[in-house]
Structure 1
Amino acid sequence: MNKESLGLDHGPDIDPNKKLSGDGFQGPTDQRKCTDILFLILIILAWIILTAIGSDSCVHGDPWTLIAQVDYGGRVCGYSSGVEDSENIYYLDSSLNGVCVNTCPPEDVLPPYSIDDLICKENVDTSRTFVGLVASGDCQFKYASTNRFGICIFTNSSMNDVLNVYAGDQTSALEEFAADIYTARGYVFGFGFVIAIVMGFLYTWFLHLPGVISTFVWSTIILIFLLKLALGAWLIVKGGEWEDEDPQMREDYEILGLKVLGGIVIAVAVIYACLIIFLRKRIQLAVGIIKEAGRSLMDMPAIIFFPLLQVFGLVLFMVPWVFFVIYTASMGDIEVKQMNGVNYKDYVYSAEVEERGWYLLFMWFWTTQFIIALGQIVLAAAVAKWYFTRDKKEVGTRTVFWAIKVSLFYHVGTAAFGSLVIAIIKMIRFILMQMQKQAQKQNNKLAQAVLCCCQCCMWCVEKCMKFVNRHAYIQTAIFSTSFCVSAKNGFFLLLRNIARASAVELVSEIIILIGKIFISLMATFLSYATMEAVISDDLNSLVAPTVMVFILAWVVAIMFMMVFHMAIDTVFQCFIADEEMFEGDQRFAQHDLAAILNEKFPKNQG
């Protein structure tokens, strides 16, 4: 076990301009070494501690206190002295003043013949009439009700009819909404999930057609340039109109400010155009990289479904974690407070319970980011294996399973290391957010401004670290290096190719945005047309199932494009490594990328 496997080796001093060496490299193989074992051990220990803390909370906590209600006298039903056996609350009026009861009335008792036929507060004046007692809020008639989380909810009774007068329209609309979704559930799932995935592959195939990506990209770039010019011109013209007003309605500084702003926007448009001209060849490279990324997904279709495994892993963690949070939250001391004449309960936590809460939050950040990181390593390994395989027919579903195997066997520690960094940043941001809330309550403007700046800085740090992490994971997947070495190598690799990286990021963002819109809208349109032709007579409206299809298709589009984005980044790094490590026919680049390399390095020049 060496320093690098433990994650302690930062690697040799690296020259930012030093090219990669291709000696003996044939792409990702099974001959790998375990990376960042120390952080694998740390996250396992963290999970063990989480389980111990959560188990102890389950022993000492009582989640029913979280839903226990407070009666008119400030007593917690089922817990306070005098109402230990009365776990349910029966509300007496619309102000939510209630009485703790043992059981909810199973049937209406109307009309009442004695005070026992009413539910009343303690020590009421029974000499008054029943109607007077109810009108004053001291008592309420017994209506048939059922227990829902400790609250007596009226069922088939005259009181329920009265409530329906006010809630009938909303309830009816919700019922129709839910009924339509249930009736069309097959179409919702089929189009929102299956057809959306098909649309994703169709979009990927569509990108292979000659000129499609270039048309998308250049049309979008030109449109952005024209919009900036139009906005700048409009601001200047508007400023002139303000200047010519008679009588003058605006101050001179307002007119000047609008014209200056218009000039700035036009200047930005000109700089944008110059930048695009400078990056034009890099944009063509980005187009070729995106095409190759699309081919990798077409050759390994199983890779699209990998995010479902991540969702499954998230659910496996989230279920016990939610239980731990609930039981820990119930370990506080109940304190009854009053607001607008209504009693409610609050919790006062000891320092030890608060520390548990902070640890639970930190483990949520670390584990969720760990699942994301491990998924990125798997995707990068699969795509890198595809790129460095000359005969693409040898690549398929088995490659995805190979990537899962090597990632789980060798690089879980790297995922733990990278995710730990993001988790720490997220914790700092959460603490800053809590401090912002306190400053807002105290109306401390200076503190709010300082904390807002800190929050913005940490947001930028998080975005940068996620970018660095993603490319570090790709380095790990390709070269089997530890996190620190991978982050350093990945950073310098991008630094040597900053213009290319910028072009790839610009083009990929355009293609990914168009892809999300295409997948979701096509699935939604096809579902609407099909449901209108087949089951429209069985539905109250097509709106509800169509909206659900769009939501589900949008989620699928995000997952699909997340995989696509990782494939683009991986192909980009593989291409640069291929360019720096190999020459001539030794290179692995194919199609458009091979043409770009042949143009840059003609064969007669070696």
Structure 2
Amino acid sequence: MIAVGAYGFSRGDPNRLLYPTDSKGNLCGQGDFKDRPNLLFFDLVACLKMGAAVVISGCPTTQVCVSSCPNATWMWYSQYAAEQISSSKKADRDQMICKYNVEPLTSTKTVKELVEDEDCAPYYVSSKSIVGRCVPSALSSMVSDLVDKYNNTVNETDLTGGSKYMAFFLNAQEYGMKILQDVRSSWHMILIGLVIAMLVSFLYIVIMRWIAGLMVWITIFLFVGLFAYGTYYSVTKYLDMKDNPDNQGNVEFTTNLDNYTNLADTWLALSIICGVVLGITLILLIFLRKRILIAIAVIKSASRAVGAMIFTLFWPLIPFILQVFLFFFWGATAIYLASSGSATYSQTNSTIENTTSGVKETFETVVAKIPCDPSGNDTASSMCNFLKYGGDEYTTYLQFYQLFMLFWMMNFIVALGQVTLAGAFASYYWAFDKANDLPPFPMSSSLWRALRYHLGSIAFGSLIIAIIQIIRVILEYVDHKLNKYDNAVVKFLLKCLKCCFWCLEKFMKFLNKNAYILIAVYGKNFCTSAKNAFFLILRNIVRVVVIDKVTGFLLLIGKLVIVGIVGILAFIFFSGDAEGIVSISSITDYMNNYKPELNFYLVPVIIIIVGTYVIASGFFSVYSMGVDTVFLCFLEDLERNDGSAEKPYYMSKDLMGLLGKTNKVDSEK
């Protein structure tokens, strides 16, 4: 992967993807053309005639770099007619736009000859620069009118068909700039919000060491309370808006965020969603209350393990940094590979002389992908235009290889983190005397064992997941290519295959995670550990399904509660509703003074909510791994030991009490 990256870095140039390229392969705004950042097309009509094929074959007209787009309209025949009347009008040729090596003022050719030989543009219109391309101003004005109409029309009845979608996408660009401005204005407050989220998550995990059971029940009640309040608030908003004509209309996807909050149907949908989630939660709590007690005991054991090894909470930073570095390396490699290779040129038109009749026949059809050399001075070189960079036939295969390696390395980093955490938590569980038998540096010891003894197993397990993921990518690619064929049988088979491989990936991730736990416990290879984990789970399938899902549900509630707390605080701050909620005037004054001016106050709120969920997931991933390790060790403990002096139980007293188990030896755990 590093070798392919070095190959791409040595041959690629991302500027080729960022800056427009003229007919000779020169980058406008770079190198010798640094003072010419805009690209002008000699004949835009020729581009329009190509339709969608212009993306593959290129525009069949000469393209040159210019310092600025023309701000006036010019036609060749006007200049030609003026020169026929008076030779002094030749000085007006300075308005012509020609190839780099053509000087219209000193050329002996007439204007007509310059145009026919494609030395100069036959016409140009007043234009504006859009993404480095000179686009007619009339089109820009039409776009502005469409955007204004899109913004000012409530029901969008005046916009139909392509006009509506064109206005939508262009309007999205405007909203994107406003969102970017909001992020720039509030980035420091967003950062403070994410720091608060990190502190809340850290405190939540630490507090659970002592009052895990109480925290779980508090979390459950908070979760129920949040969704109960959400249901009440949504229903209240709906009842206030349902009879107001200004709040009626269909919920449609739009970039204007205020349109959602001003519609009664939005609050109706939210009230239904909150009510359904609330009802399902209450039903699960009623029927699974006994299993919740066992899950709480497992969580208590994991909490004590986390409290005894507090560094485990900071471990996710290491895999996260490695994954970010890997992703940026892969992204940079992909960009450099996409821009690697030499310039490719294609012949875009042909002129064939009929020797019998002496008449020249010009074929308007584009002849694409015929190699040609634009450096000559003959007629054939004038028909040769730049097509693209990247003539290397192996580039596609290298990109595919890098994608596969991205999957493999990402899964490798995840697996390394799981084996390391599992080793640390397993060392805690299998320490009979937790205070004295626990290693002094369990995380570093576990990491050393993973790197020294288990890299092969980690690489093999992550390879299996990577192969399944790349097969899913291939299936998506095949499905995309076959969309144009209306074959119901093929579509059915592809959907079945995609579903099967999705299920296979989920199953293998679950099996791999438990295999890594047994690798950390016994030190055996991947295949042996995977087999043992599978049969261990199979022998305790009911207990595994119930306890695993209940603990997963409780941890999910914990994450959502943290997200809800931080999200509500962010909403109160950025919405300016602090005065109606916080009665202390000094706090409200502080919040009002430091609240930035925003176009959409929901932008920083959404960013903080998403960031909080990511941060909470990082902390709870450690907790989840601790719960899974403790639970699997608990199952092994039940099968290997019987509570006798020779084979005492290593589980906590809470778990032994729930299961009616006791140790016959008088030992303090």
> Shorter-normalised TM-score: what interval?
0.5 to 0.7
Query: 2:534 — aligned with what?
Result: 491
Deviation at 1:494, TM superposition (A): 0.7
- The SS at the match of 1:363 is helix
Distance 1:189 1:289, change over 3 A: closer
1:596 equivalent among 658, 663, 669: 658
Alignment pair present for 1:191 and 2:196: yes
- Aligned: 1:307 with 2:313: no
Deviation at 1:169, TM superposition (A): 7.0
Counterparts of residues 20-419 of structure 1 (less than 5 Å): 50-70=1-21, 76-78=25-27, 85-86=32-33, 89-90=37-38, 104=67, 120=97, 138-140=124-126, 151=132, 170=175, 173-174=178-179, 176-202=181-207, 207-209=212-214, 212=217, 283-331=292-340, 334=344, 351-394=393-436, 398-419=441-462
Partner Cα distance (2:67, 2:11) in 1: 29
8 Å contact 1:89–1:100 — kept in the other structure?
Answer: no
Q: 1:535 to 1:67 in 2, by over 3 A?
A: same
Whole-Å separation in 2 of the counterparts to 1:446 and 1:495: 36
* Equivalent in the alignment of 1:227: none
- The answer (yes or no) to whether the contact 1:335–1:348 under 8 Å persists in 2 is no
Query: Residue 197 and residue 299 in structure 1: after superposition, are their counterparts in 2 closer, same or farther (change >3 A)?
Result: same
Cα distance in 2, alignment partners of residues 409 and 337 from structure 1:
59
1:89·1:101 contact (CA, 8 Å) conserved in 2?
Answer: no
Structure 2 vs 1, CA of residues 116 and 320 (structure 1 numbering), >3 Å: closer, same or farther? farther
Separation in structure 1 between the aligned mates of residue 96 and residue 472 of structure 2, nearest angstrom: 50
For 1:300-342, what per-residue CA distance to the aligned partner results, in whole angstroms no more than 9, with x for missing partners? Answer: 222122111001112333333333222222246647799xx9x
SS of the counterpart of 1:540?
A: coil
**What pairs with 1:10-29 in structure 2 (closer than 5 Å)?**
none
CA separation of 1:593 and 1:474: change in aligned 2, threshold 3 A: same
Report the AA paired with residue 401 of structure 2.
Y
1:232 equivalent in structure 2:
none
How many Å apart are 1:553 and its aligned residue?
A: 0.7
Task: Go from structure 1 to structure 2 and tell me whether the alpha carbon gap of 1:204 and 1:513 turns closer, same or farther (over 3 Å shift).
Answer: farther
Query: Contact (CA 8 Å) 1:86, 1:102: kept in 2 or not?
Result: yes
AA partner of residue 536 (structure 1)? N
Give the Cα separation in 2 of the matches to 1:477 and 1:321.
30
Q: For 1:421-570, list aligned pairs within 5 A.
A: 421-527=464-570, 533=588, 534-538=590-594, 539-541=596-598, 543-570=602-629
Report the CA distance shift for 1:202/1:552 in structure 2 as closer, same or farther (over 3 A): farther
Backbone CA RMSD of aligned residues: 4.7
1:275-322: CA deviation from partner (whole Å, max 9, x where unpaired): x97x87655433321222222223322212211100111233333333
Find the aligned partners of 1:55 and 1:450 in 2 and give their Cα distance: 40
- 1:139 is displaced (CA, Å) by 4.8
**Contact 1:192/1:523, CA 8 A, preserved across alignment:** yes
Shift in CA distance, 103/387, structure 1 to aligned 2, threshold 3 Å: farther
The CA deviation at 1:446 is 1.9
The aligned residue for residue 571 of structure 1 is: 630
Deviations, residues 250-271 of structure 1 (Å, cap 9, x unaligned): xxxxxxxxxxxxxxxxxxx9xx
Change (3 A) 1:65 1:214: closer
What residue in structure 1 maps to residue 86 of structure 2? none
1:337 to 1:426, Cα distance in 2 relative to 1, 3 A: farther
Aligned-partner SS, 1:184 = helix
In the superposition, relative to structure 1, how do residues 583 and 118 fare at CA in structure 2: closer, same or farther (>3 Å)? farther
The aligned amino acid for 1:57 is G
Structure 2: how far apart are the matches of 1:431 and 1:211? 43
**Aligned-partner Cα distance in 2 for 1:330–1:346:** 9
Name which of structure 1's ranges 317-326 and 553-562 shifts more when overlaid on structure 2: 317-326
2:294 alignment partner AA = L
1:583 is displaced (CA, Å) by 2.9
Single out whichever of 375-384 and 519-528 deviates more from structure 2: 519-528
CA contact (8 A) 2:420 2:447 kept: yes
Identical-pair percentage: 29
- In structure 2, the CA distance between the partners of 1:53 and 1:182, relative to structure 1 (3 Å rule), is closer
1:21-52 deviation digits (Å, cap 9, x = unpaired): xxxxxxxxxxxxxxxxxxxxxxxxxxxxx222
Aligned length: 477
Per the alignment, do residues 171 and 387 of structure 1 end up closer, same or farther by CA in structure 2, a change over 3 Å counting? closer
Q: Which has the larger radius of gyration?
A: 2
Which secondary structure state, in structure 1, belongs to the residue aligned with residue 38 of structure 2? strand
Q: Give 1:555 shift.
A: 0.6
Shift of 1:414: 1.4
Residue range with higher mean Cα deviation, 55-64 or 401-410:
55-64
Aligned residue identity for 1:54: G
1:215-264 Cα offsets, whole Å, 9 max, x none, are 679989xx9xxxxxxxxxxxxxxxxxxxxxxxxxxxxxxxxxxxxxxxxx
Question: Which consecutive residues of structure 1, in runs of 5 or more, have no partner in the other structure?
Answer: 1-49, 128-135, 224-268
Deviation of 1:119 after TM superposition, in Å, equals 8.0
| Structure 2 residues without counterparts, runs of 5 or longer | 48-58, 75-90, 105-109, 113-121, 149-170, 229-278, 349-365, 367-384, 579-587
| Structure 1 residue matching 2:441: 3-state secondary structure | helix
Change in Cα spacing, 1:213 to 1:378, as seen in structure 2 (3 Å) is farther
Measured after TM superposition, the shift of residue 197 of structure 1 is 3.2
What displacement does 1:428 show?
A: 1.1
Classify 1:465/1:170 alpha carbon distance in 2 versus 1 (closer, same or farther; 3 Å): closer
* CA gap 1:121/1:188 in 2 versus in 1, 3 angstroms: farther
Contact 2:404 2:470 (C-alpha < 8 Å) held by counterparts:
yes
| Letter in structure 2 aligned against 1:90 | N
**CA deviation after TM superposition for structure 1 residue 492, in Å:** 0.9
C-alpha spacing 1:200/1:430, structure 2 compared with 1 (3 Å): same
1:415-435 CA deviation, whole Å, 9 max, x = no partner? 111000101111111111111
Letter in 1 for 2:419: I
In structure 1, what is the Cα distance between the partners aligned to 2:477 and 2:98?
41
Shift of the 137–573 alpha-carbon distance from structure 1 to 2, 3 Å rule, reads: farther
- What secondary structure is seen at the aligned counterpart in 2 of 1:392? coil
Aligned equivalents of 1:385, 1:337: Cα separation in 2:
70
Q: In structure 2, what is the equivalent of residue 250 of structure 1? A: none
Distance 1:511 1:471 in 2: 20
- Tell me if structure 2 keeps the 8 A contact 1:429–1:455: yes
Q: Could you say if the C-alpha distance between residues 494 and 535 of structure 1 is closer, same or farther in structure 2, counting changes exceeding 3 Å?
A: same
Q: Distance in 2 between matches of 1:602 and 1:217?
A: 37
| Larger RCO (alpha carbons 8 Å, 6+ apart) | 1
Distance in 2 between the 1:115 and 1:200 partners?
78
Deviations 1:151-194 (A, max 9, x none): 3799xxxx99x989978974773364124323525523422433
The CA distance in 2 between the partners of 1:428 and 1:528, in whole Å, is 42
